[in-house]
Structure 1
Amino acid sequence: MQVMQGGRPTLLGVRAPRVEDDRLLTGRGRYVADVVLPGMVEAAFVRSDLPHALVRGVDKTAALASPGVHAVFDGADLDLDAVPDRMPWVRAVQHFPLARDRVRYVGCPLAVVVADDRYLAEDAAELVDADLQPLSTVDTVDDALAPDAEMLYPGWGDNLLLSVEPDDPEVDAAFERLRTVSGTFTTNRHSAVPLEGRGVVAEFRDDRLTVWTSTQAAYVVRAMLATVLGMRERDIRVITPDVGGGFGQKNEIYPEEYLVPWLAMRLRRPVRWIEDQHEHLIAATHARDTSIDLSAAVREDGTIAALRGRVRTDLGSGEIFPAGYGPSLVAVGSLCGPYRIPHQAIAVQGVVTNKTPTGGYRGFGAPEGTFAIERLVDKIGRELDIDPLELRRRMILAPQDLPYETAAGARLVSGTHREAFERAVELGERMLAEERDAAEPGTHLGVGYATYVEGVASTTFSITGTWSSQDSADIRFDSDGGVTVAVGISAMGQGTHTMVATLVAESLSIPIEQVRVVMGDTDTAPFGLGSWASRGTLVAGGAIERASEVLRCKGTDIAAHLLEASPDDLELTEGRFQVRGSPGSAVSWTQVAQSALNRTFELPPGVEPGLEARAVYEPPGLDHVPRPDGKMNAAASYTNATHTAVVHVDAGTGVVEVVRYAVVHDCGRVINPLTVAGQIHGGVAQGIGGTLYEQLPYEDGQPLATTFAEYLLPSAREIPEMLVEEWGGPAPETPFGAKGAGEAGIIGPPAAIAGAIENALAPLGVTGIDTTPLTPPVVRRLIEEARS
């Protein structure tokens, strides 16, 4: 299916069904749990039930004698290197796949049992007796920073994994002469909980290791395995089968991903481990858990001259790669949003505590930063008696302001910041009016807004100390005119196969049905950094565009020779090279491929046989480390959006229902509107969950939500129908004019919903909502405090 654009057919912007869905919806997907190999055994982990303790010994005798058990190992048995600490600007953690001398969180792996099946392995794991000497628990950030705090890493002298203290005289000067408005804005700890948990299968055969793992970055896993296992990368093959959701949580490299391959090599037989839900909630990385102290130096008209503050994140034990401080840096970069705020100086503290390590989760700090600045803008409006929407209009970027560099260093080249905002306000006012017309008198209804910019296709060097931002594509014709494209990004349910096939078909002017997509296998896909930071369309698109240009040039030369015409006289349309003005004088890609691959004697002089191309694309203009002024343009491009939420609040119970929701979004050229809408719908659903329901509380280092009986997720009943409008057009700074849309949906809900609740409860005097999740007890307490 094609549409016409500029007088020619195009696949871009067509609401076409995803090419991968038929296989997945009919049960033909293959996930890690579906990998079954001859002679395979299963692993189960023994995990610490203490949050902080010295490991004095592990007694494996009873477990080894248990039926069906092949081996039991603890940390002292492993001949593995520590996971490398490659970031010189943060403190070294030096953690191992199994704890050796100390455990620092409940769920930390202490030992592993391998048996004929998972049931026998679990039975034997209960027989492993770990001798742990309890230590004082560091339960909160305040505990960790106290002068007499127990040190998680005694050699550090404190509990700060990362500490950044900026100094900007311009900011100091603004705060000396202007009014100050301040607040503290907290986003509590929750989890990504993808439908498919983690899993690893490994086999060592013919001196080569093959690993199937549910990851977002196969090549990064391969490199880390080579380092920790002491192998050459070429002797390791990493395969990412179908992934049932990643959301950034599967962009971390976990202890099990090192240990299961080690077991396969040690036992000389395939080993599998599949995570259960309890393990997932205590051992897979958590997210958010960030408090932002933010102050604004405010002019008389309410506009912000400078921001000053601190982003403080509870990183848990910090024993994960990449380390979990990355979202804190993104939060700093998100604080100016789409506003003209000329200066900021924001400190960052990454604090270790006796909790599960935090890591990446969809939005990666942007929801936290957006929540802080949007709530602060509302507070400024309230204190200065300025309509908060009018205050935003005074600061928001207009088309004539672009290109614009934010106070954090982000270079905004394109976007519809003001237009998207005004349209979202129009929708919000209409939706609220419609709900009020249908509601009973006295119903507490309110509307809230959140506007932001989102960096896409960012550098990864600042959190890995190794990799930057490039990705690759191989495109190869077969002699029948079919095309195989291999890319370095990966799929996890976001429609990547459809996007890649569409861009290749568009670039080569062939039907999408002729394109086969390969990814997620280090033996068959070119080097790439995987899928995260909404980067797939931009970086894969850039590589596809470059490789396709090579093939079009070669195809044109071959076709011109076959047609006895000049290459300058040919045009490529609907899979045929034809002489301009003479549609009957044409050859197809199939004929060109036959000449290039089979009938090579038909090739023009100097043209080599074959019809394939590889290209690498690295986004230009990225800063991989901060500039001398401390600023950093860490992303290749920036999307923008404004979210509108309409809520109903039951003042008696504190229950909040999101009844209407709209997103006005600009991600440049939309490749497939159905895919983009799906991404935004899913992100908003997760954002609603994190804003109203999901939390991972701790008490004395013990997690209190370890099953779905305690960890509350929204169901379809809690997610309203959504209106999504795409604004803008092709972005001049990106391949195909496309940006990214993977995280846009999750960034706006915390600020928009909090603002809507505050608006709904304004008659009761509720103001200053500054924390999530806004569960019924929290909302009731806000009402009671306002009444008192």
Structure 2
Amino acid sequence: MVRPMQSTRPTLLGARIPRIEDDRLLTGRARYVADVVLPGMVEAAFVRSELPHAEIHRVDVSAALEAGAHAAYGGPDLPVGPVPDLVPWVRPVQHFPLARDRVRYVGCPLAVVVADDRYLAEDAAELVEVDLRPLPVVETAEAALADDAPLLYPEWGDNRLLSITPENAAVDAAFDRFRTISGTYTTHRYAAAPLEPRGVVAEYRDDRLTVWTSTQAAHLVRTMLADVLGLAERDVRVITPDVGGGFGQKNVIYPEEYLVPWLAMRLRRPVRWIEDRHEHLFTSSHARDMSIELSAAVRDDGTIAALRGRVRADLGSGETFPGGYGPAVVAVSSLCGPYRIPHLCVAVEGVVTNKTPTNGYRGYGMPEGTFAIERLVDKIGRELGIDPLDLRRRMIIGPEDLPYETAAGARLDSGSHREAFERAVELGEQMLAEERERAEPGAHLGVGYATYIEGVAASAFPVTAIRSGQDSADVRFDTDGGVTVAVGISAMGQGAHTAVATLAAEALAIPIDQVRVVMGDTDTAPFGLGSFASRSVLVAGGAVAEAAEVLRRKGIRIAAHLLEAAPEDLELADGGFQVRGSPGSTVPWAQIARVALTRTFDLPPGTAPGLDARASYEPPGIEYAPRPDGKMNASANYTNSTHTAVVEVDPGTGVVRVRRYAAVHDCGRVINPMTVAGQIHGGVAQGIGGVLHEQLPYEDGQPLATTFTDYVLPTACEIPDITTEELCSPAPEIPFGVKGAGEAGIIGPPAAIARAVEHALEPLGVTDVDATPLTPPVVRRLIEEARS
């Protein structure tokens, strides 16, 4: 691990520094994909399947061409694809950017039409004639696994994309010895619904392809484009302009990202496609849709000796890259939480159905896993007559347990698991008491808790087979002492520019306004995996720290030469170097840069010109495949948090209102408290929306929520004031001691709110709130079932 040279100036870490990107974003100077306008540009529109499952007999685009379209192609006519199936441990789906022989979900692209503008392209697309022969529909994972289920991929012999069935003798022994308590916990289908839908612009000029796309992983898009289109990666440039929210949904490579560039190459003119909200809600990847059957072998004191069960994920059609099964695997690793549970054996099934493919969404399986274990712990307490909070106290790891390895293989080297839990309980009891004081008589109020760990900077290898866990940074001084930092991560509203600038300024002891940050362009940024899994600050910070160390060492040599002092007598000061104990003897970075770049004759003998460095950083300890015992430490580190929610339930209407919410969170060393609080608040808001409002239901394979009239998002009225408190357990092996904060806010709400609703309705006999969403009809049904 790189340990930064000690500086004499106060640290920037932990300071409430205003975000450097906000002025541009708030004054309308941001540039999104829809703002990219190129000379001679034409627009694309897609013909999509209206049937969930069918054979393709004919796609006739001739009428569209006769109506003035510049180009029109159906799947059988398109020489593009298939998208390679790179992961050997799952079944191949062999999907093409345009469907060729079969459609497997409503919205599957069948044809593409290009015209002078979007309106003409849409009109021409309506003229495309499609002959589809309907096939039986498979709508749920349970139906897909029936013996007589229609097969989406007949060559498989069943509808399992992924099946993992581990064995563990220690788990079997525990279940033979102890009492068993079980439950099934279901998280429904919903999605990220970012403010900006997807979009792609492509231009082919001078035998080089340039693609602007709203993505979280520009270099991954470049690799896959080069593969599918048959180009060298050096001949493909991918630019990610400003991204209006990603949340994992834009960490997927979609058919349009292959087709629009191919059209630009074919037509030799720029092509643009911008997704509308209707398209977005049934063609961009969905999420969650997971059922977890979980059993615990329970000792007499309620503590858990072992867990076993099965995670079953409805993957939709499965036609996606990276693979959509990742959240199911991550859910398994989340089941132990911060608890001392010594043994685990949980199977995983990824099942295909005739619905939109699922993939990652903020939390990536951790909300589902946390929901299951937290609900099961509450059930154990209820059945054994033990206060569920006391039961958690018996199992939560403390400082004396660290470092600790969970039964799933996660290596926890730091954290404040017990402290965060106790503080959240204190806040929860206080908030509930305050709400009871101001509530109307007879109000149904309840409080719930969720405690968990979050793996950060996880390996991407299990779902891509081509990406591991590293990232890169270029740090370059200019002659005036300013610094340009180019990194491989991506910005999507999470404050990445400010975080990188802060870390670079901290490492080099320069003002933050002297740092310029570059990202999101494969021509100007070094190779990186992008932003997902709360990894950005950790991996970019590690790369910046290593590059900065190279520059500090070179800078101190130059400064020592200029001061005629020994390098060991110098220290990093504010803006440069000084002789230790002699503040007047200072050489600023600007002078060092001028010597290194222009006055090279003043360099120490044997020192090469230039003041720049490139570094790649791979966090220590990440495993890319399971060990022989099935355990796997897939993340660089782990944050911890406990959430508490206070709700009020109207039994007459079934409406649940979150009155108060608090999150006690530990993401290691905090770079910027305002940014971390914003991440937690945003995640909690999305979590509340997912539990109480948002859903993507289907009937006979037809999506029923394809506009914001039906897909109900929470507004400011539904989100309460959120209290956040940060604890600080620095990661001992990570530069700057940072962990990550991008996904923690969304993990706790499902479990905390479900328990709070259950608590509020206990006087009415409601127990075992074991599924989401908790919309008014669902809550009314829970009450009616309890009364009957």
TM-score (norm 2): 0.99
Letter in structure 2 aligned against 1:21: D
CA distance in structure 1 between the partners assigned to 2:331 and 2:81 by the alignment: 33
Tell me the amino acid that sits aligned with residue 64 of structure 1: L
Structure-1 separation of matches of 2:52 and 2:585:
75
Q: Which residue of 1 aligns with 2:67?
A: 66
Which residue matches 1:492? Answer: 492
**3-state SS in 2 of match to 1:690:** helix
1:51 aligned onto 2:13: no
- The offset of 1:212, in angstroms, is 0.2
Query: How far is the alpha carbon of 1:6 from its aligned partner?
Result: 9.6
Say whether the 8 Å CA contact 1:174–1:297 is kept in structure 2. yes
Deviation at 1:232, TM superposition (A): 0.4
Provide the C-alpha distance between the structure 2 equivalents of 1:596 and 1:299, rounded to a whole number of angstroms. 68
User: What SS does structure 2 have at the residue aligned with 1:644?
Assistant: strand
How far apart, in 2, do the equivalents of 1:599 and 1:710 lie?
66
Q: Give me the whole-angstrom Cα distance separating, in 1, the residues matched to 2:576 and 2:195.
A: 44
Shift of 1:641: 0.1
Q: What is the CA distance between 1:8 and its match in structure 2? A: 3.8
Question: How has the CA–CA distance of structure 1 residues 484 and 7 changed in structure 2, closer, same or farther, with 3 Å as cutoff?
Answer: closer
**CA–CA separation in structure 2 for the residues paired with 1:195 and 1:460:** 26
Where does residue 24 of structure 2 map in the other structure?
23
Task: Using the TM superposition, give the Cα deviation of residue 672 of structure 1 relative to its aligned residue in structure 2, in angstroms.
Answer: 0.3
Shift in Å, 1:7: 6.9
AA in 2 matched with 1:655:
V
The reply on whether 1:169 has 2:188 as its aligned counterpart is: no
AA aligned to 1:700 is D
User: What is the DSSP-based 3-state SS (H/G/I as helix, E as strand, rest coil) of the residue aligned with 2:287?
Assistant: coil
> What's the counterpart of residue 275 of structure 2?
275
Offset from partner CA, 1:341-388 (integer Å, 9 cap, x none): 000100000000000000010000000000000000000000000000
**Conserved? CA contact 1:676–1:741, under 8 Å:** yes
8 Å Cα contact 1:81-1:227 kept in structure 2: no
Q: 1:392–1:230: structure 2 CA closer, same or farther, 3 Å change rule?
A: same
Per the TM alignment, residue 750 of structure 1 is displaced from its structure 2 partner at its CA by 0.1
CA distance in 2, matches of 1:109, 1:730: 47
Report matched runs for 1:134-533 at 5 Å.
Answer: 134-533=134-533
* 2-structure distance, mates of 1:183, 1:391: 17
Counterpart secondary structure, 2:155? coil
Q: Give the superposition deviation at 1:585.
A: 1.1
| Separation (CA, whole Å) in 2 of partners of 1:455 and 1:55 | 43
2:12 aligns with 11
Q: How far apart are residue 583 of structure 1 and its match?
A: 1.1
Inter-partner Cα distance in structure 1 for 2:50 and 2:342: 49
Residue 609 of structure 1 corresponds to which residue in structure 2?
Answer: 609
Aligned length: 783
Which residue of structure 2 lines up, in the alignment, with residue 727 of structure 1?
A: 727
Partners of 2:29 and 2:39 lie apart in 1 by 21
Give 1:64 deviation, angstroms.
Answer: 1.1
* Residue of structure 2 equivalent to 1:757: 757
Q: Distance in 2 between matches of 1:385 and 1:670?
A: 40
Tell me the residue number matched to 1:569: 569
- The residue type equivalent to 1:410 in the other structure is A
**RMSD over equivalenced CA pairs, Å:** 0.8
2:237 and 2:576 mapped to 1: Cα distance? 39
Structure 1 residue 576: deviation in Å? 2.2
State the match for 2:581 in structure 1: 581
Taking the aligned partners of 1:457 and 1:528, their CA distance within structure 2 comes to 13
Deviations 1:482-515 (A, max 9, x none): 0000000000000000000000000000000000
CA distance in 1, matches of 2:561, 2:245: 49
Residues of 1 paired with 2:67 and 2:661: CA distance?
Answer: 55
- The amino acid across from 2:777 in the alignment is P
Q: What does the per-residue CA deviation read over 1:166-192, in whole Å, with 9 as the maximum and x for residues that have no partner?
A: 100000011111100000000000010
Amino acid aligned to 1:335: L
Quick one: which amino acid aligns to residue 532 of structure 2? Answer: W
Give the corresponding residue for 1:707. Answer: 707
Structure 2 residue 772 is matched with structure 1 residue 772: yes
The separation in 2 between residues aligned to 1:579 and 1:384, in whole angstroms, is 68
- Which residue type is aligned with residue 450 of structure 2? A
Q: Gaps spanning 5+ residues in structure 2: where?
A: 1-5
Describe the superposition over 1:293-337 as per-residue Cα deviations: whole angstroms up to 9, x where unpaired.
Answer: 000000000000000000000000000000100000100000000
Cα distance in structure 2, aligned partners of 1:764 and 1:719? 26
- Give, in angstroms, the shift of residue 572 of structure 1: 1.1
Task: Judge conservation of contact 1:477–1:483 (CA < 8 Å) in 2.
Answer: yes
- CA distance in structure 2 between the partners assigned to 1:313 and 1:653 by the alignment: 31
* Deviation readout 1:85-135 (Å, 9 max, x if unpaired): 111110000000000000000000000000000000001111111100000
Residue 198 of structure 1 aligns to which amino acid in structure 2?
Answer: R
Q: Does 1:600 align with 2:600?
A: yes
Question: SS at the partner of 2:293?
Answer: strand
| 1:337 maps to amino acid | G
Structure 2 SS opposite 1:475: strand
Q: In the alignment, is the contact (CA less than 8 A) between 1:637 and 1:733 conserved in 2?
A: no
| Separation in structure 1 between the aligned mates of residue 736 and residue 389 of structure 2, nearest angstrom | 34
- Quick one: distance in 1 between partners of 2:508 and 2:60? 63
* 1:680, distance to aligned residue in structure 2 (A): 0.5
The equivalent of 1:105 in structure 2 is: 105
Please give the alpha-carbon distance, in whole angstroms, between the structure 1 residues aligned to 2:729 and 2:631: 28
Please tell me whether the aligned partners of residues 51 and 104 of structure 1 are also in contact (alpha carbons under 8 angstroms). Answer: yes
Q: Distance in 2 between matches of 1:584 and 1:16?
A: 29
TM-score normalised by structure 1 residue count: 0.99
Q: Give the distance between the partners of 1:163 and 1:410, measured in 2 at CA.
A: 22
Distance 1:589 1:138 in 2: 65
Amino acid at match of 1:772: T
- The change in CA–CA distance for 1:6 and 1:508 in structure 2 (over 3 A counts) is closer
Partner-residue secondary structure (3-state), 1:288: strand
Q: Which one-letter code corresponds to 2:583 in the other structure?
A: P
Task: Provide closer, same or farther for how the CA distance between residues 85 and 365 of structure 1 changes in structure 2, counting only shifts above 3 A.
Answer: same
SS in 1 for 2:211: strand
SS in structure 1 at match of 2:279: helix
Assess if the C-alpha contact under 8 Å between 2:326 and 2:364 holds in 1.
Answer: yes
Give the Cα–Cα distance (whole angstroms) in 1 for the partners of residues 305 and 174 of structure 2: 7
3-state secondary structure, aligned to 1:491 = coil
Aligned to 1:34: 35
Q: Is the 8 A contact 1:420 1:665 kept in 2?
A: yes
CA contact (8 A) 1:640 1:667 kept: yes
Letter in 1 for 2:173: A
CA contact (8 A) 2:137 2:354 kept: yes
| CA distance in 1 between partners of 2:750 and 2:730 (Å) | 29
CA-CA distance at 1:598 after TM superposition: 0.5
Task: Specify the alignment match of 1:629 in structure 2.
Answer: 629
Query: Which amino acid in 1 is paired with 2:67?
Result: S
> Taking structure 1 as reference, are residues 386 and 6 closer, same or farther at Cα in structure 2, changes over 3 Å only?
farther
Contact map agreement 2:414 2:730 (CA 8 A) in 1: no
The Cα offsets for residues 58-93 of structure 1, whole Å up to 9 and x where unpaired, read as 1112111124x1010011121123101111110000
| 1:386-421 deviation per Cα after TM superposition (whole angstroms, max 9, x unaligned) | 000000000001100000000000000000000000
Aligned partner of residue 761 in structure 1, secondary structure: helix
Instruction: Give the match for residue 3 of structure 2.
Output: none
1:548 and 2:582 are equivalent in the alignment: no
Quote the Cα distance in structure 1 between the aligned partners of 2:434 and 2:332.
37
Gaps of 5+ in 1: none
Offset at 1:729?
Answer: 3.4
The CA deviation at 1:152 is 0.3
* Residue type of the alignment partner of 2:570: L
8 Å contact from structure 1 (residues 80, 230) kept in 2: no
CA distance in 2 between counterparts of 1:159 and 1:455 reads 30
- Give 3-state SS (helix, strand or coil) of 1:189's partner: strand
Cα offsets for 1:598-651 (capped at 9, x unmatched): 000000001000000000000111110001111000000000000000000001
In the alignment, the residues of structure 1 paired with residue 16 and residue 660 of structure 2 have an alpha-carbon distance, to the nearest angstrom, of 24
Q: Give me the whole-angstrom Cα distance separating, in 2, the residues matched to 1:145 and 1:116.
A: 47
2:572 corresponds to which letter in structure 1?
A: L
Answer yes or no: is 1:130 the counterpart of 2:130. Answer: yes
